[in-house]
């Protein structure tokens, strides 16, 4: 029985299409990882400039990124090497931060809104956080931030008192200025894959 040439040709086309898609996925993942590394570099440069260099025992809050947000894993790994204490948000009726013993996937579980949350129960006091690395949908050069619209971060950041607030985002999430409400909390600095910006 002769092989069906049209089926073989179609199978070849399907395999090539799958390969193209896979290559694009790999390229996108590599692009994201590179952006995360560059943003991590700019984060440390900004902290040095402001005299806020991360040190052993300092408590810093981070987040696990949602799709479309700049990766934080490289920054988390670099901070963990410095023996910085890291905490991540967990949302129940309100948002609280929980300290983690490691930054790999085994220390997190899927929580509300499809966000990875710490699996442990070591809650931290908001006023003990020295640097807060904050995600958002949009950021303004003056430190304005627009989040997902639930207000969790604004309410929590309002309790952190003297925490140095770092907006962490892609360059294309930056705007010259954004409208703000009375309860919105401004960032002290914005960090992207391209640079860091002091917010005045």
Render pLDDT for 96-118 as a digit per residue (tens, 0 to 9). Answer: 999 999 999 999 999 877 889 99
Strands (E) across the chain are located at 59-61, 85-91, 95-99, 108-110, 116-118, 131-134, 138-140, 145-146, 164-168, 174-175, 189-191, 196-198
| CATH code where residue 139 lies | 3.40.50.10420
Render pLDDT for 117-141 as a digit per residue (tens, 0 to 9). Answer: 999 889 999 999 999 999 999 999 9
Is residue 131 in a domain?
yes
Number of domains, the chain: 1
pLDDT of res. 129: 97
Please enumerate, as own/partner, the contacts of 101-108 that have beta carbons within 8 Å and a separation of 24 or more.
103/73, 103/76, 103/77, 108/64
Give the domain extent around 55.
35-198
pLDDT of res. 10: 53
Is residue 7 in a domain?
no
């Amino acid at each position: 029985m002769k092989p069906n040439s049209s089926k073989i040709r179609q199978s070849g086309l399907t395999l090539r299409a799958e390969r193209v898609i896979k290559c694009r996925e790999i390229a996108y993942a590599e692009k994201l990882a590179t952006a995360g590394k560059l943003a991590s570099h700019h984060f440390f440069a900004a902290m040095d400039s402001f005299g806020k260099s991360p040190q052993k025992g300092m408590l810093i809050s981070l987040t696990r990124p949602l799709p479309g947000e700049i990766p934080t894993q490289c920054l988390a790994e670099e901070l963990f090497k410095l023996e910085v204490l890291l905490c991540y948000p967990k949302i129940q009726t309100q948002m609280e931060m929980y300290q983690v013993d490691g930054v790999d996937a085994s220390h997190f579980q899927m929580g509300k809104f499809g966000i990875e949350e710490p699996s442990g129960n070591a809650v931290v006091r908001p006023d003990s956080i020295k640097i807060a690395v904050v995600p958002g949908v949009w950021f303004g050069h003056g430190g304005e931030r627009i989040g997902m619209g639930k207000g969790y971060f604004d309410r929590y950041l309002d309790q952190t008192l003297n925490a140095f607030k770092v907006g962490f985002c892609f360059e294309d999430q930056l705007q010259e200025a954004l409208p703000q409400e009375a309860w919105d909390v401004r960032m002290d600095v914005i960090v992207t894959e391209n640079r860091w910006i002091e917010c005045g």
